[in-house]
Structure 1
């Protein structure tokens, strides 16, 4: 039987379908490749294991969101705040289009989620480095607890804020997740003053812990 040509997109689509139908990862790569009418060898051209697919998924959604955001007319003249708002709105829309799988993907404790978000974090950092920090009200109003951190690694503060948006969206039950859009706007304007619920606080605490482990020695 002739094997089917696969792509990174087709692997991700098949993997997400499998997770949503079966509620767990495929038993092994051999069987998963066979279900795709291809071979393990072809699969390994794109990913080394299932964990790599999961780490790549949110990054790909972010890349697509960023491409769409940058393609908007007048992007170059937008303020840093406008760039953040537009990108985050688009990213949340993409998360919503794939909500069932994203929620499955982000199950687990905070540390497990941070591992799955590592590729996304690297891409987010690259984007943040293009912004002019002095324009962002979020950083002006950051709590004193994080102010010393702000001096050296301000992108880490924005990363924690970004995580809080994803966490808020996960728990948002409003129609069309309109409260998440409001949360994005209000927190960029007011900083961490509105980040006051326990799940988000745990993410911030973990982020500060990991930061101290990496940079505090």
Structure 2
């Protein structure tokens, strides 16, 4: 009588699976693994499999933030309406979606951004994310400038992309300190700060800047 063969095929390790294993490890152990060898051995991964994706834990940490960005962009482009949005609406949607991604991984994000006493050292893992966010913002401005046509009305891609990154850093700090239910205050901060940035570039900043300032003061004093 024929018997069914047991399926012993090992599941192939991919980037997202490796990231998930690493994130679970640091949250359970409350520290980064000391060596790639030990991490792989404890998780039944061949060391060479790890190096197929990253050369070090530092590279993996940067990769996690890049995957947060890539997953955000994937979600955005799944919506057919996204391409019909104004640049302001696209930026708002990007931030809302990105912070949903962060909230889904809040425990890891807080751990990784508070791991070292040096804030500068904690922020080094965001280099790849910074490059991608600035590129996203630059693309928005390029599209807007193409529509305007007149050189005098066009906006600075460099300044806007840098402003978008500074804005994201502000919003991340705000979100990390946000104690409101479902992080509703962060949603308000996103809306007000994005409107402010776009109004600054549209040369009508005063009302929005004052509105944002009042909101931040209220949150600080709460």
TM-score by length of 2: 0.75
1:32 — aligned with what? 39
Query: 1:172: how far off?
Result: 0.5
2:127 — aligned with what? 118
1:187 — aligned with what? 193
From the CA coordinates, give the structure whose radius of gyration is larger. 2
**Alignment partners' CA distance in 1, 2:160 and 2:193:** 16
SS at match of 2:58: helix
**Alignment partners' CA distance in 1, 2:97 and 2:31:** 28
Selected match of 1:93 from 85, 94, 100? 100
SS at match of 1:117: helix
SS at match of 2:140: coil
RCO (CA 8 Å, sep 6+): is it higher in 1 or 2? Answer: 1
The answer as to 2:181 corresponding to 1:175 is yes
Aligned residues: 183
Runs of at least 5 residues in structure 1 that lack an aligned partner in the other structure? 136-149, 198-217
**Alignment partners' CA distance in 2, 1:172 and 1:61:** 20
CA contact under 8 A between 1:29 and 1:40: conserved in structure 2?
yes
Query: 1:58: how far off?
Result: 1.4
2:68 — aligned with what? 61
1:166 — aligned with what? 172
TM-score by length of 1: 0.76
